[in-house]
Amino acid sequence: MTEDVIIKLENVSTVYEGERRPAIKGINLTVNRNELVYVVGPNASGKTTLLETINGLLPPFNGKVSVFGLDVQSHGREVRREIGYVPQDFMVKPGEPYTAFDVVLMGCYGQIGFLNRPSEEDKKRAEQAMKLLGIQELASRPMGKLSGGQQQKVMLARAMAKKPRILLLDEPFSNLDPDSRGQIPLLITELHEKQDLTTLIVTHDIHHMLEHCNRVIVVTGGRITFDGTPEKALPLVENHPHTTPLEGHHH
């Protein structure tokens, strides 16, 4: 396996427990170091499943997933330490007692284990991550009182607190206020470039970050139906009945 291949899926199919039909089927995919990849497709097409499979959260019933050359099945914990993952449905209830800082600090738990008390070092990393995203002033605010864009930045800071080598983002543009719609794509691009990351972004909206992205994968019905440049992907996605620009989209 060459040094530059970071993520490799070989003929991978994954089924959710209790389901009969695979959510993704026969996926072959190689992602190289420092690539910024958009994974696009209609809802329920298998995009989230792909991220969860790479992250070792869902075991494939077929095929092999390796990250940094390690089999994710047997080295899940090691692999996850190096992955910053922002799931799609993290919206926090208004009454949650956690502050933004608490949430970012949880990002270090991959490293420190849930029961250990965070060390000064962990707190420093959480502070640095918040600085990286320009949200130091949110530190003591309750997470549930923040706007969608602010919560998204906190979750990104939480992912970055691990000092990951891979960033997996599931629909990072979906709950944003208009201001954040312009900001978040730029922030993600900046993190990707400055922190030397390999980044996969799942989205049904392809219009945001194309100039920074060199590769688009289209997933339809659990299979990769396109893998190539944004220019070539755009006509495919624009003709897609399920792919909507963000403006009017609500989950």
Tell me, what's the pLDDT at 231? Answer: 82
* Continuous segment of H or E residues that includes residue 43: none
pLDDT per residue as tens digits for the range 188-213: 999 999 999 999 999 877 666 656 78
Phi and psi, residue 108, nearest 5°: -80, -10
3-state class (DSSP) for residue 158: helix
DSSP β-ladder status, 24-32 and 5-14: antiparallel
> What pLDDT is recorded for position 177?
82
Instruction: Give tens-digit pLDDT for 116-130.
Output: 677 888 899 999 999
How confident is the model over 98-151, as pLDDT tens digits?
899 999 998 886 554 556 677 888 899 999 999 999 999 999 999 999 988 999
Average pLDDT over residues 152-162: 93
Half-sphere exposure at residue 42, Cβ-oriented, CA atoms within 13 angstroms: 11
Q: What backbone phi and psi angles, to 5 degrees, belong to 193? A: -75, -50
User: What average pLDDT score do residues 152-173 get?
Assistant: 93
DSSP state of 117: P
> Mean of the per-residue pLDDT values for the chain?
85
pLDDT of amino acid 151: 92
For the chain, the distance separating the N- and C-terminal CA atoms, rounded to the nearest angstrom, is 40
- The confidence score (pLDDT) of residue 55 equals 92
Mean pLDDT confidence for 79-96: 84
Confidence (pLDDT) at 154: 94
- The single residue listed with the structure tokens 């690539």 is 35
Residue 28: how many CB atoms within 10 A of its CB?
Answer: 12
Per-residue pLDDT tens over the stretch 18-47: 888 889 999 999 999 999 999 998 888 899
Confidence of residue 94 (pLDDT cuts 50, 70, 90): confident
What is the side-by-side order of every strand in the sheet holding 215-220?
83-86, 166-170, 198-203, 36-40, 215-220, 223-228
Please list the residues that pair with 5 across neighbouring strands. 32
Q: Residue 236 to residues 37, 40, 77, 225: CA-CA distances in angstroms?
A: 16, 11, 37, 10
- State which amino acid sits at residue 50: L
Name 61's Cβ contacts closer than 8 Å, sequence gap at least 6.
13, 14, 15, 22
**How many helices (DSSP H) and strands (DSSP E) are in the chain?**
8, 10
In 10 A of CB 189, how many CB atoms? 17
Topology classification of domain 1-82+165-251: Rossmann fold (3.40.50)
Domain ranges of the chain: 1-82+165-251, 93-163
pTM above 0.95, yes or no: no
Q: What are the backbone angles phi and psi of residue 249, rounded to the nearest 5°?
A: -90, 130
